[in-house]
Amino acid sequence: MKNGSDFINKVAVVRCDSYNKQELIQKIESCVSLIGGFKKYIRPGQRILLKPNLLSASRPELAVTTHPVFIESIIDIIKKNVFSDVEIIIADSPGAATPHTIDNLRKVYKECGIEYISKIKGVKLSMESEFSLISFKEGKVLKHLEIIKPAVDADVIINLPKFKTHSLTRITGAVKNMYGTVHGRTKTLLHTKFIEIDKFCDMLLDIYLYRPPELNIMDGIIGLEGEGPGASGKPRSIGMIFAGTNGIAVDCLISEIMGFKSEDVPIIKCAGSRGLEGSDIGKIEIIGAGIKDLLIKDFKLPKNTPVDRITKNRFVKAYMLPFIRNHLYASPYKNNEKCTLCEICVNTCPEKAVILKNQDLIFDYKKCIRCYCCSEMCPCGAVDLKYSFLGNLIFGKGTVK
């Protein structure tokens, strides 16, 4: 962790209840000052990548993406109070349903309110469709990565994740936000390659560890609960800003705040099994508040629970995983009242398990790997997750709303 190794197990938290820009500037600056301040991580003339969560072309009020005023406030802080001669670039490769083309990127930037921010602040929006093929021998499951050029070329990466739940990985925070540095639909291929949740999360950790951000500043003012990370989740006032040099530690903390135990969150569990710093909540120093003061009452967690305790057994994993996936995991279903037949789920599915036939969506559950990309990317929240009779009998959860 460049320039921040002394803060590797520290996470700063500051309360902030609105997207009023003047208040945001004050609170973000105050939060980052608790871990050394912006000047600790930025030098004059550097190229700075702001990496927000731009999962899809979603309006800011849906809380699916990093709020544009949050990004604007950080730009103002850097240009006015840090170094005016730095080059700031905003870049992301949105979710698997969005091919990495100029037209699609422009649509996402516009709908998320980022295009307007770039114009009034004079910062560059990356429209590059090229990627760099990176050799990463240190990776546990990924030895080669296809990373968008702005992430490869940046001197400093400031990671700007959103406080959200995730139907597959339980949370999506600082670590998973760096998945957005993977080029375009390569993300779809990775879903197919790493079907098991632990391997998928090890892949996410490899991507994060290839190029750890200098700073992680999380937009936790309005977050997403329930079946995040897309429109199926529900916006909720959280009223917090988080900052840390170690994204694993940030994610470990927000997991606890949501109501998870670290062993329930695959990314944190996998980080712990690899001996990575930040994966033990007992060793994290929270600056600015106590953990008991941060816990959110009645926060709605994603109801789908991949049965990790069953698949820990190697024999079961080897011979029964398809059965377990098909009969115990929640399965996606079309919500007829919400579906507009936009076909985003059809184009998103890495296994081609969703087809449009006779003006209806058909899910092939034998092909479905329960990655929930269809639910994640649906702009209407029209993909519900339901348990089978057996799954409902065991978990008693019915439809995941």
User: What are the boundaries of each domain within the chain?
Assistant: 5-294, 308-400
Residue whose pair of structure tokens reads 């105050």 in the numeric block: 30
The pLDDT, as a whole number, for residue 399 is 47
Least Cα distance to 117 among 67, 151, 77, 163 occurs for 67
Q: What's the rounded mean pLDDT across residues 247-267?
A: 95
pLDDT per residue over 20-67, tens digit each?
999 999 999 999 999 999 999 999 999 999 999 999 999 999 999 999
pLDDT per residue over 295-343, tens digit each?
999 999 997 655 555 555 666 666 676 777 777 788 999 999 999 999 9
Reduced to 3 states (helix: H, G, I; strand: E, B; else coil), residue 145 is strand
Beta bridge partners of 135: 144
Using a pLDDT cut of 90, give the percent of the chain over it: 79
The pLDDT, as a whole number, for residue 387 is 81
Using 50, 70 and 90 to split pLDDT, how confident is the model at 10? Answer: very high
The pLDDT, as a whole number, for residue 308 is 56
Using a pLDDT cut of 70, give the percent of the chain over it: 92
The pLDDT, as a whole number, for residue 400 is 44
CATH architecture of 5-294: 3-Layer(aba) Sandwich (3.40)
- Output phi, psi for 18, to 5 deg: -145, 170
Peptide bond into 229 cis (omega under 30): yes
The pLDDT, as a whole number, for residue 326 is 78
pLDDT per residue over 166-190, tens digit each?
999 999 999 999 999 999 879 988 9
pLDDT per residue over 136-152, tens digit each?
999 999 999 999 999 99
The rounded distance, in Å, linking the Cα atoms of 89 and 182 is 17
Q: Calculate ∠ Cα 304-306-310, nearest 5°.
A: 140
Least Cα distance to 242 among 187, 302, 177, 335 occurs for 177
Assigned CATH for 308-400: 3.30.70.20
- Contact between 384 and 333 (Cβ < 8 Å): yes
Least Cα distance to 123 among 183, 39, 25, 47 occurs for 47
**389 against 225, higher pLDDT:** 225
Q: What's the rounded mean pLDDT across residues 97-102?
A: 77
DSSP 251-267: HHHHHHHHT--GGGSHH
Residue whose pair of structure tokens reads 């953990």 in the numeric block: 291
Average pLDDT for the chain: 92
Over 50: is that where the pLDDT of 401 sits?
Answer: no
- Contact between 183 and 248 (Cβ < 8 Å): no
CB under 8 Å to 17, separation ≥6 — which residues?
Answer: 221, 237, 239
Beta bridge partners of 287: 12
CA 47, 52, 57, 62: dihedral to nearest 10 degrees?
-150
The pLDDT, as a whole number, for residue 325 is 74
| CA 151 from centroid of its chain's CA atoms | 16
